[in-house]
C-alpha cells in the first residue's frame, strides 16, 4: 500500500469515527432536553449542527476546486453570539443527524 493510500485510509477512518461519535452525542442529547445550553456553553445538538454547517461549507469549497473554480468564502462566525447559538439550537437532533 502506498503512503498516499495509507493516508487516505486513515483519513477515511477518522471521518467515520467522528461521524459515529456525533451520532452517539446526538442520541444522548435526547435525554438532555432539560439543559439546552447557551452561547457560553453549547449543548450537543447545536454543536453538531454547527459542525455540520462547517463540513457542508468545506464540501462546497472542495467541489468548486474540483470544478476548476475559485472556492467560495464564508463569513466569520462569532461563536459567542446568542443568535448563532440559538439558530443552531433551533434544529432538532433528528434534523441534524439527517
pLDDT in tens, 12-67: 999 899 889 888 888 877 665 667 788 888 888 898 899 889 999 999 999 999 99
Whole-angstrom distance between the N-terminal and C-terminal Cα of the chain?
Answer: 34
pTM over 0.85: no
The CA distance from 98 to 95, in Å, is 5
Q: Tell me the average pLDDT across 90-95.
A: 84
Confidence of residue 80 (pLDDT cuts 50, 70, 90): confident
Strand partners, 41: 38
Amino acid at each position: 500500500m502506498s503512503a498516499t493510500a495509507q493516508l487516505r485510509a486513515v483519513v477515511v477512518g477518522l471521518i467515520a469515527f467522528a461521524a459515529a461519535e456525533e451520532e452517539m452525542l446526538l442520541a444522548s442529547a435526547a435525554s438532555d432536553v432539560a439543559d439546552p445550553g447557551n452561547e457560553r456553553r453549547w449543548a450537543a445538538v447545536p454543536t453538531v449542527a454547527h459542525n455540520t454547517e462547517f463540513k457542508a461549507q468545506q464540501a462546497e469549497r472542495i467541489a468548486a476546486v474540483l470544478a476548476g473554480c475559485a472556492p467560495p468564502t464564508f463569513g466569520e462566525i462569532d461563536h459567542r453570539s446568542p443568535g448563532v447559538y440559538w439558530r443552531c439550537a433551533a434544529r432538532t437532533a433528528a434534523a441534524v443527524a439527517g
